[in-house]
């Protein structure tokens, strides 16, 4: 079985990304793009669906015995149940040679009122303790092995502010460091792994299992004619492995054993190319390492974030950069598909696409962090995909702006920890989600404020979008959470329709753009009154998920952050209090109660991390700064040992769940952290200290933080 979600780290090159487990196994890599088929898909299946392991070797006899016993048992069970061995797809095929199964890996070890404040603090302690215990179980001395088994301890980290991963293995015989990275700007995509001897002599083992097309296609493997290594071809894909180590075939795998002594460095380079093209030339791995380190350090140095939470914020910004597809500027929601929102459940979605909803918060996060080039690239991507008929605006697109993202299931993959189905594509692409109009208008307004001026065509497109929105804003839709239980009158969708007209008015006023201002102001007022009249529930003393409903929704925490109502409005305070009472689970925020809301799916999911960050913002805006700080720091503690967050967190099992790493979670971390630090600066200013940006300077005019309103803009 694959590692725990929190035991993975991310490396990438601006075209795709890989997940590397704590024990040195690359269990997920899609080539050549984020949304391409995976050649390593063990994350969603078994090791036979593709992985690349480099780790200290097992005791040979014990490892072979465990492998043979498990393999024989698996074969016997397969023959008893099916009457024939299965092929690579998992379907019976009496004529096919079986893909050898490997030994199974052992299972992993397993606030409004004063009363509310006490409950929140108690939940904070429980959650922080559980998260810390979970990390401690999987950091430092970790004697729970994956096949091939060995007793060792591991520690890992990123090398400074880079995406170069370093994993230290300690064995009784010595110590080595495994360096993993993907060189950016290479002209082709490549993953390099270098084993560095630190102490003594360590026997190492490498296992390469290539299975293209999401773990389905077994390639034809041959020796390279001019280099030391192999070439694997299947259909349109070619991968070449170069290394000075002797390689051999074993049970449909490429394996090697080698010794590494102190001071030695043993490189492995895996390069992708289309099968009709020549294999890319060999390059020196050590030179590539130095160039990659310089690239990331130079990029990180452009950042302007300093202060109490700067380390976590800067790592999150670097993660967002890793999720950006450099050729187009599009940013994927996550590099994975079908990591479950509940273990064993069916809420498993493909997030390897670009959501317009992410436009506003991602663009502003990059600007607030000082990365205007990335913000400009994302702004350009947004401008291209929104061009065309407003009636055809979609909620998401492919990396290059592709419109068709058909959803289908991969039945040969067993799913992460048995969570099926495994999906590719996303049928939500065809949904009506009215909030995207507000997201786009807000993004472009903030881009103008940040100095990313758009041309006249962009403004004309915006005006056409508003004209269309005027005809549909009263219609039911699927909402921000992309429910599959039918369209409803979602409150947040109406709030974002208000945002669309509000930001258009503000852009026209601030930048002297031609617009029917009076009409837009009338529309803005009409939508505002409609929401306040139809969504307010006096019995709950809160706004509800839908018009006339009685269920809450965490998206309503964004109402004050978007400027729909001021934080001091008693309706905002009532809504925040109601969400604290009814949507908190061990101090973290659920999107809504899946047991009470018919969203077309079986109930059950983790707490949604972005919603929890929104709660932090609301607590701070209501003057509950100490609670806000405690909750934010608890959320930071949920990140894994290299600073990565998934979409959700399950307080019961103390595990990250959902696709990983999740851009939405990291963007929320950035904004909330910057808002808290800005709040502290405001308090310092009130005490007579000069305002600053964490570096002793006032924010320059024209920057995002200097020009945004007093409420956080998200």
pLDDT in tens, 615-642: 999 999 999 999 999 999 999 999 999 9
CA distance 33 to 16: 5
Kindly state whether residue 306 falls inside one of the protein's structural domains: yes
pLDDT at position 513: 94
Q: Per mean pLDDT, which range of 330-334, 531-535, 603-607, 624-628 is the poorest?
A: 603-607
* 175 and 194 in a common domain: yes
* 538 and 396 in a common domain: yes
Residue 151 has pLDDT above 80, yes or no: no
Kindly state whether residue 714 falls inside one of the protein's structural domains: no
Kindly state whether residue 139 falls inside one of the protein's structural domains: no
End residue of a domain, out of 291, 314, 340: 291
* 307 and 259 in a common domain: no
Residue 686 token pair = 């009130």
Kindly state whether residue 133 falls inside one of the protein's structural domains: no
Q: Write down the number of H helices and E strands in the chain.
A: 17, 26
Residue 695 has pLDDT above 50, yes or no: no
Q: What is the crossing angle of helices 609-621 and 625-638, to 10°?
A: 160
pLDDT at position 658: 96
Percent of the chain with pLDDT over 90: 70
DSSP at 237? E
pLDDT in tens, 564-612: 999 999 999 999 999 999 999 999 999 999 888 888 888 888 899 999 9
Average pLDDT, the chain: 85
pLDDT at position 600: 83
CA distance 444 to 453: 9
* 285 and 384 in a common domain: no
Taking alpha carbons only, the member of 270, 268, 271 closest to residue 256 is 268
End residue of a domain, out of 291, 314, 346: 291
pLDDT at position 362: 87
pLDDT in tens, 213-233: 999 999 999 999 887 899 999
At 685, the pLDDT band (50, 70, 90 cuts) reads low
The mean pLDDT value for 122-138 works out to 50
pLDDT at position 97: 31
Q: Tell me, what CATH number does 351's domain have?
A: 1.50.10.10
* 510 and 475 in a common domain: yes
Taking alpha carbons only, the member of 713, 448, 362 closest to residue 562 is 713
**What is the domain count for the chain?**
2
622: containing domain = 302-707
* 149 and 232 in a common domain: yes
Residue 221 token pair = 């493997």
* 80 and 178 in a common domain: yes
CA distance 439 to 436: 5
Residue 131's φ and ψ, nearest 5 degrees, are: -65, -40
For residue 304, what are the CA distances in angstroms to 298, 368, 451, 694? 13, 8, 17, 9
End residue of a domain, out of 234, 264, 291: 291
Kindly state whether residue 199 falls inside one of the protein's structural domains: yes
Q: Tell me, what CATH number does 196's domain have?
A: 2.70.98
Half-sphere exposure in the Cβ direction for 577 (13 Å, CA)? 15
pLDDT at position 390: 87
Q: Is 409 helix (H, G, I), strand (E, B) or coil?
A: strand
Residue 132 has pLDDT above 90, yes or no: no
Kindly state whether residue 445 falls inside one of the protein's structural domains: yes
pLDDT at position 386: 83
pLDDT at position 125: 54
Kindly state whether residue 135 falls inside one of the protein's structural domains: no
pLDDT at position 457: 81
* 271 and 307 in a common domain: no
688 vs 534, which has greater pLDDT? 534
For residue 195, what are the CA distances in angstroms to 55, 71, 157? 9, 30, 15
Q: Which residues pair with 630 in a beta bridge?
A: none
pLDDT at position 450: 87
455 vs 184, which has greater pLDDT? 184
* 248 and 377 in a common domain: no
Kindly state whether residue 713 falls inside one of the protein's structural domains: no
DSSP at 155? E
CA distance 121 to 31: 45
* 307 and 276 in a common domain: no
pLDDT at position 563: 96
pLDDT in tens, 50-90: 999 999 996 333 334 433 443 333 333 333 333 333 333 23
* 241 and 94 in a common domain: yes
* 228 and 200 in a common domain: yes
CA distance 558 to 563: 8
Residue 699 has pLDDT above 70, yes or no: no
pLDDT in tens, 415-457: 999 999 999 999 999 999 999 999 999 989 998 998 887 677 8
């Amino acid at each position: 079985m694959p590692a725990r979600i929190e035991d993975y780290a991310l490396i990438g090159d601006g075209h795709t990304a890989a997940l590397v487990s704590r024990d040195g196994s690359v269990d997920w890599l899609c080539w050549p793009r984020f949304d391409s088929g995976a050649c390593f898909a063990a994350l969603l299946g078994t090791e036979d669906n593709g992985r690349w392991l480099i780790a200290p070797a097992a005791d040979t006899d014990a490892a072979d015995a465990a492998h043979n016993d498990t393999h024989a048992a698996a074969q016997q069970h397969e023959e008893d149940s099916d009457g024939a061995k299965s092929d690579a797809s998992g379907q019976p095929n009496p004529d096919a040679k079986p893909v050898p199964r490997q030994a199974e890996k052992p299972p992993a070890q397993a606030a409004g009122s004063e009363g509310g404040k006490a409950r929140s603090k108690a939940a904070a302690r429980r959650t922080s303790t559980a998260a810390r215990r979970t990390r401690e179980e999987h950091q430092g001395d970790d004697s729970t092995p994956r096949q091939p088994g060995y007793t060792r301890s591991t520690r890992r980290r990123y090398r400074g502010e880079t995406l170069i991963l370093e994993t230290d293995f300690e064995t009784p015989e010595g110590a080595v460091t495994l360096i993993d990275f993907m060189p950016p700007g290479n002209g082709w995509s490549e993953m390099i792994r270098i084993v560095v001897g630190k102490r003594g002599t360590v026997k190492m083992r490498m296992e390469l299992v290539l299975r293209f097309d999401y773990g389905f296609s077994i390639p034809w493997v041959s020796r390279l004619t001019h280099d030391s290594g192999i070439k694997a071809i299947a259909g349109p894909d070619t991968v070449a492995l170069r290394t000075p180590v002797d390689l051999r075939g074993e049970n449909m795998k490429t394996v090697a054993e080698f010794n590494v002594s102190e001071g030695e460095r043993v490189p492995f380079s895996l390069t992708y190319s289309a099968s009709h093209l020549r294999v890319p030339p060999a390059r020196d791995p050590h030179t590539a390492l130095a160039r990659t380190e310089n690239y990331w350090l130079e990029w990180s140095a452009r950042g302007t974030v300093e202060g109490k939470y700067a380390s976590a914020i800067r790592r999150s910004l670097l993660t967002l950069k890793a999720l950006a597809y450099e050729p187009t500027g599009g940013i994927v929601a996550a590099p994975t598909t079908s990591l479950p929102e509940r273990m064993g459940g069916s809420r498993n979605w493909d997030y390897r696409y670009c959501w317009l909803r992410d436009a506003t918060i991602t663009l502003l996060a990059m600007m607030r962090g000082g990365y205007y080039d990335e913000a400009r690239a994302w702004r350009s991507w947004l401008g291209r995909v929104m061009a065309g008929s407003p009636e055809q605006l979609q909620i998401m697109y492919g990396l290059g702006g592709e419109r068709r993202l058909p959803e289908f299931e991969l039945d040969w993959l067993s799913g992460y920890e048995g969570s099926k189905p495994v999906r590719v594509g996303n049928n939500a692409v065809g949904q009506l989600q009215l909030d995207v109009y507000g997201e786009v208008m807000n993004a472009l307004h903030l881009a103008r404020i940040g100095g990313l001026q758009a041309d006249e065509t962009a403004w004309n497109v915006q005006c056409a979008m508003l004209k269309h929105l005027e005809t549909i804003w009263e219609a039911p839709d699927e909402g921000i959470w992309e429910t599959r239980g039918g369209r409803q009158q979602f409150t947040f969708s109406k709030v974002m329709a208000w945002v669309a007209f509000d930001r258009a008015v503000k852009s026209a006023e601030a930048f002297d753009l031609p617009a029917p201002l009076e009409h837009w102001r009338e529309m803005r007022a009409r939508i505002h009154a409609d929401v306040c009249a139809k969504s307010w529930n006096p019995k709950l003393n809160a706004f509800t998920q839908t018009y006339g409903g009685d269920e809450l929704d965490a998206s309503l925490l964004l109402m004050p952050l978007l400027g729909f109502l001021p934080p001091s409005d008693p309706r905002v305070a009532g809504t925040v209090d109601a969400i604290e009472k009814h949507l908190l689970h061990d101090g973290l925020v659920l999107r809504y109660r899946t047991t009470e809301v018919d969203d077309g799916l079986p109930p059950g999911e983790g707490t949604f991390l972005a919603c929890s960050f929104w709660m932090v913002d609301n607590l701070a805006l209501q003057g509950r700064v100490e609670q806000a700080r405690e909750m934010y720091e608890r959320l930071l503690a949920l990140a894994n040992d290299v600073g990565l967050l998934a979409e959700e967190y399950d307080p019961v099992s103390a595990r990250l769940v959902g696709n990983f790493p999740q851009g939405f979670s990291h963007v929320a971390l950035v904004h909330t952290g910057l808002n808290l630090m800005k709040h502290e600066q405001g308090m310092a200013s009130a005490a007579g200290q000069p305002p600053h940006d964490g570096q002793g300077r006032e924010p320059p005019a024209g920057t995002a933080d200097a020009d945004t309103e007093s409420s956080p803009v998200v």
